[in-house]
Chains A and B, each alone.
Chain A
Amino acid sequence: MEEYPEELRTPPVALVSLVGCPEHHQAISGYLHSQQPPINVLALPDFSKVPVVLSKKVKDSGSGDPPSGILKRDWLLKHRTKVPALMAALFSSLDISGDPTQWLQVCSDLENLKAAIRPRNVKLVLVVVLQSTSADDINEDRMIALKKRAEVDSKYLLMYTPNDVSELKLSLNRLGNAFSELASVHYREEGRRIRTKVEKRGYNFPELHMRYCFKVAIYAEFRRDWNEALKFYEEAYRILREIVGTSTRLPPIQRLVEIKSVAEQLQFKISTLLLHGGKVMEAVQWFCQYNVAYKRLVGAPQVPYLHWEWMSRQFLVFAELLETSSATMQSISSLVVGGTDRTLTEWEFRPAYYYQLAANYLKKKQSSLEISLSMTDNSSEADSSIDSVVPSIYVGQFARSLGQGDELFMHPLTDEQYVQYTLAERKRFQDSYEIIALLKKAYESYSSLKAQRMSSTCGLKIAKEYFSLDDYANTKQLCDGIITLYRQEGWVALIWEVLGYLKECSRKLGAVKSFIEYSLEMAALPVHPDTNITFLGFVESGPTGPPSLQQREHIQKEVMELIGKDSGDGLSVEKSTDLRLSEKNPLNLEIDFVSPLRTVLLASVAFHEQMIKPGVSTLITLSLLSQLPLSIEIDQIDLQFNQSHCNFSITNKEKYASTTMFSSVEQSQRMEIASSLILTTNRWLRLTYEIKSEQSGKLECVLIIVKLGPHFSIICRAESPASMADLPLWKFEDRAETFPTKDPALALTGQKGTQIEEPEPLVDLALGATGPALVGESFMVPVTVMAKGHDVYSGELKINLVDVRGGGLFSPRETEASFLDGHHVELLSIAGAEWEDKSQGSDSNINRIQQSFGLISVPTVKNGETWSCELEIKWHRPKPIMLFVSLGYFSQESDPTSQKINIHKSLQIEGKIAVMINHRIMLPFRQDPLLLSMVKPPEADQLVSLPLGESNVLIVSARNCTEVPIRVESLSIETDSSSPSTSCCIKPGSGPGSPGFTLLVAEEEFKKIFTVKAEVDSTPLSLGIVCLRWRRDPGSHDPSTRTIVTTKHKLPDVNVEVPPLIVSLVCPPYAVLGDPFTYFVKIQNQTPLLQELKVSLSDSQSFLMSGTHSGTVFVLPKSEHIMSYKVIPLSSGTQQLPKYSFTSTRYSAGFQPSVAASTIFVFPSEPRFKGVNDRGKNLESVATI
């Protein structure tokens, strides 16, 4: 587009001319320029310049001769820059109102001006420049005279006031309006004048018709009448189409060139107008028609390049137009939908499409130019004559300018001269860069539209251009990008083409590795031997020729020769290039799971078993597959495993014989010899060997290194048959697919790795704990290691205590909590007699014990021996735990390669509380002190009250809560060291305390009685702590093996009170039927006050009774009052004595003895006891229970 002159590219702008008063021109032209639409200004300083500018050549109006061209080259420029639409004559008001000489000068200037503008029909405007702000000094008569002389309408006689800012603005505005109005009038008149010519058909030549149409359209554009402009451009275009075949004015080649040049301008105008009017659809359709109409006009066979160049330019210009207007365009898809007919497609609205075609035509031009140049290579003598060829005054014409003196004559050219001229011109340009630039635009545009296939095609074309320019690095880079898409989608023919370029570039760049890679990939492409007949029609199939089986074989041979596998048959690569492999630069080709070279060599490895025992051999099958067209003989295959000692090599029998020296270097590695290692097309080469490993864990085949020739090897990643991806490209082919292994099941499930089990431990680990553990005791868990087949070297015993409730593990929170208040369960120590003996002096032995974890080393245990230790665990809380013990050891001494063997054992142990201690305090029998604190309603947490100075009974009982029999060693009460020891006196009662120990079985209770006598009235009184010393019943074992545990139980504090009254009942321990006895009620007043008591006694049916039944008793201070009753039992058995009750008036406290206290056993007759002494004692003991 840039090559068009500016007046063609931009819409026409009206031109006005200013003359006179040059000091104001700047202001006026600046204002007019900024107007919308702008007006260009041609400023003439004085009136003498006017005739020069407006001079008009005298045209021969005779219509006899045909015009020598269609459009004049500079006509439009003339109207844009030279011929104004109106002339504005500026006169100073001083001149007008001045003396007669000044006035005369004004008049003569005006006359001259009128004369000059008349032939051009230029409008006239008079501007009077007011020199002072007041308008008074203007001579009215002179003004009228001026108007008359100028023959202008009064509205075109304008005042211009430069001195006042507001007035200046107004006058500028006036000027602008008047100018644009008059300019429009001028252009309309001019247009109409020529239009009349068109309509009257006052000419005989279509060239003139066209020229007039063009002019009308330009005039219409001047006044922004786009529709009319478009109409006349189209009209001109139509006429041009008519004269294509008919005109004979010029020699044929130049004639066509002229027509095309004019058509180009017209089409440019039309397209611009359509696109700027938003009619994208119409513009594209128009361009399509235009393209169709002119595409075939190739012209003379000598100059096809002119046509292609011209076509290319058309597309380029349209692409650029479309691109500039696409910013304002609405979305393409809506355009396509909007179109009723579907003759236009999406791409036709994209500039990329046109750029691409422009490049295509330019390419055509390049090739046809080459042909033309080669044909006329010897005609260099004509150079001198074409030096002077210049564009002539008509659009699309060229002529020789012959200088004769000062004047230049244009001399028409013959076609031969013209052809020579064009050839010489075009020779100077390098089209390839232009083509690349165009394609790059298309490429980027398509890429941004995500049309990757289109952009790939463009990219490939760019690459080809670079290739033709010998820019191999760029070619390779582009092709590498493109081929990915083609590989992905499996377009074999396209891959072949791109690979061909890549291969050649690598060859030219001397890149051996990539050359071999690309060659091998090409050779392994699925080009069908039977269907390739149709493929044979390739012309531009890259530097390698069309894809065929022969080509593939040829390429493979080339590579084999390069790597030294083949002797070569004359088509040596090395001769032509510097590609060479030697000992110094060997080549390793790597093939991974996604490499396109998997078609060249696919290595699959399958272990026949998924899990094997250490040291037991299993089978491994290596399968190789190649799609190369010719068989390859492999020299050696190395298999590499993750356990490097398993690596081994497979070598060809013949090669092995010839290269024994070579292989003797690596004697340490296993070497297998195969009878033949020939890899044929699409047939698995299966090799099965035994393999074994001592080391447990994963054994996996990692790499397969296939050596071909002395300096070349292919490193393949091993693939599992079970998870092998399909071969790229070949997966779409209809080929015979076989399994990589003979066993189809293995082909479906086979893995490249296998799991080697850990060696079987031949050692027993026993945890010998029985029963639950008791809280407080040191629970011993014996651990025994028995070697039954292995010696145990550097054994390590790991002990873990884990909370069962935490799912086998301590949760962090639990751990934290147990750290805060000490561990609930603790591993105290590990006691192993033997170990302690042996480990003396050896610091290396590990012995670490934490609260829940222990690690100790186990000494060497020979086969058949045992070693044991004991874990001492203490429970602080009742809690079940899991004990994990694991032993890791080596079965051989000082063999670093041998495997560590592990054995694990676990045991759940309950922790239980052994004994529950209870106590009870009882007042003396049948003696009831009045404790005032008991009278009040009971409160929570009220302490038990004890009467001062009385002997109370304390019963402490310990119950075995477990199933484990325990031995109670002793039960005692220790007084708190803090409280004064004299405050109370606790003495063991005369219970059944046995001298040694008491065995307690499950749920059995042990009791001991104490007498408590409070001696000091101190509140509260601490009674002390019960200490129970017990141990687990050792049974028949030595009791010293069980530690004694002391369980402590604190007795609650008590109140000590001085009772004001004590009532005691005195009666014999038993009675005999009919035998009278006396029973006393003793009331003791311990206060220094007189106590009044109401007494009442209720009768009992079992007794006959004498004495007062009710009454009031007064007890003197610090004295005793005794009431006696004589009773006779009337019935035998346990009987209720007559009940009495007291009410103390001072303390308003009533008293009634308990049922137990007022019960007596009545024998039917005098009982016979063995000893009189024993009698009372026995009875008492019965009563206490």
Chain B
Amino acid sequence: MIVCVAIVGHQNNPLYIQSFTEGDDALKLHHVVHCSLDVVDERVNNPKKSGPMLNETYLGLLYPTENYKVYGYLTNTKVKFILVTTDLDIKDADVRNFFRKFHAAYVDAVSNPFHVPGKKITSKTFAERISTIVKAFGLSSAG
């Protein structure tokens, strides 16, 4: 199950962060997302020399915490997408697919003429769309 998704801007500032837990660990998820930026930095600064990773936006599994797994995605405009999930075995393809949809939703949201680049995304439509994607992901990975 996806517990948190986040969009992080250039200055590593949160643009959108949404947790999907009934429980009470929203702050913890903030910490998890924030810490994962360290891994993103390291991945970006020390790119893998080999393989098709050169122009890859999908950063893969960033790090496992005790209960979560954190995946990352970096757009060409250096906006980072973070996904925190509790599923311990999850297919890479599913995550990639999720990020693709997420990216599309983000592009639509920032294409809104009333959106100021660099500011937090407050669009309700965007939030709804994201929660749909998150739910769909839960279904697909479960099945």
Contact = CB atoms under 8 A, between A and B. Distances in A.
Interface of A: 292, 333, 337, 342-343, 345-348, 353, 357, 360, 446, 451-454, 457, 460, 488-494, 497, 528, 531, 534-535, 537-541, 731-734
Given A343-B61, A534-B26, A537-B19, A457 B35 contact: yes
Contact of B26 (A454, A488, A538): A538
B90 to A, nearest CB: 10
A346 B116 contact: no
A764 B13 CA distance: 64
A346 B63 CA distance: 7
B50 interface: yes
B103 interface: no
A357 B66 contact: yes
A449 to B, nearest CB: 8
Interface in B6-41: 9, 11-15, 18-19, 21, 23-28, 30-31, 34-35, 37-39
A493 B27 contact: yes
Closest 4 CB pairs of A and B: A490-B13, A451-B38, A539-B24, A489-B12
Nearest to B115: A734
Given A345-B63, A452-B38, A453-B38, A732 B13 contact: yes
Contacts of A457: 31, 34-35
A496 to B, nearest CB: 9
Interface of B: 9, 11-15, 18-19, 21, 23-28, 30-31, 34-35, 37-39, 42, 46, 48-50, 60-64, 66, 88, 92, 116, 118-120, 122
Given A347-B63, A360-B66, A539-B24, A734 B116 contact: yes
B96 to A, nearest CB: 12
Contacts of A342: 60-61, 92
Interface of B: prevailing SS: mixed
Contacts of B61: 342-343, 345
Contacts of A491: 13-14, 30, 34
Contacts of A538: 24, 26-27
A540 B23 CA distance: 12
B91 to A, nearest CB: 12
B64 A345 contact: yes
Given A347-B63, A490-B13, A537 B25 contact: yes
A66 B16 CA distance: 61
Contacts of A453: 34-35, 37-38
Contacts of A731: 118-119
Contacts of B116: 734
B34 A490 contact: no
A357 B68 CA distance: 13
Contact of A732 (B46, B64, B118): B118
A540 B27 contact: yes
A489 B15 CA distance: 11
Given A345-B61, A347-B63, 5 more contacts: A346-B63, A348-B64, A531-B122, A537-B26, A734-B119
A731 B10 CA distance: 13
B79 to A, nearest CB: 13
Contacts of A497: 27
Contacts of B14: 490-492, 732
A292 B14 CA distance: 32
Nearest to B23: A537
Contacts of B9: 732
Contacts of A489: 11-13, 34
A679 to B, nearest CB: 24
A497 B29 CA distance: 13
Given A347-B39, A453-B37, A733 B119 contact: yes
B26 to A, nearest CB: 5
Contact of B11 (A333, A490, A537): A490
Contacts of B12: 489
A446 B62 CA distance: 16
A490 B118 CA distance: 12
22 contacts: A337-B49, A345-B61, A346-B39, A348-B63, A357-B66, A446-B38, A451-B42, A454-B35, A457-B34, A491-B14, A492-B14, A493-B26, A528-B122, A534-B18, A534-B19, A534-B26, A537-B19, A539-B24, A540-B27, A540-B28, A732-B118, A732-B120
Nearest to A490: B13
Nearest to A350: B63
B64 to A, nearest CB: 7
B119 A333 contact: no
A492 B34 CA distance: 11
B77 to A, nearest CB: 16
Contacts of A490: 11, 13-14
Contacts of A534: 18-19, 26
Contact of B50 (A337, A353, A535): A337
B24 A733 contact: no
Nearest to B65: A357
Contacts of B50: 337
A453 B62 CA distance: 14
A360 B27 CA distance: 16
A427 B24 CA distance: 30
A528 B14 CA distance: 14
A356 to B, nearest CB: 9
A494 B25 contact: no
A257 B61 CA distance: 34
B120 A734 contact: yes
B38 A454 contact: yes
Contacts of B19: 534, 537
A906 B26 CA distance: 77
Nearest to B28: A540
B46 A333 contact: yes
Nearest to B31: A457
Nearest to B49: A337
B63 A732 contact: no
A488 B9 CA distance: 12
Contact of B31 (A345, A346, A494, A535): A494
A528 B34 CA distance: 20
Nearest to A461: B31
A476 to B, nearest CB: 20
Contacts of A346: 39, 42, 63
Contacts of B21: 537
A599 B143 CA distance: 49
Contacts of A528: 122
A541 B27 contact: yes
B106 to A, nearest CB: 15
Contacts of B118: 731-732
Nearest to A337: B48
A460 B30 CA distance: 13
A360 B67 CA distance: 12
A488 B10 CA distance: 12
A705 B29 CA distance: 41
Nearest to A451: B38
Residue among B14, B21, B25, B35 facing the most chain A CB atoms (10 A cut-off): B35
Nearest to A729: B13
A446 B92 CA distance: 28
A590 to B, nearest CB: 26
Contacts of A493: 26-27, 30
Contacts of A347: 39, 63
A531 B13 CA distance: 17
A454 B25 CA distance: 18
A357 B64 CA distance: 11
Contacts of A454: 35, 38
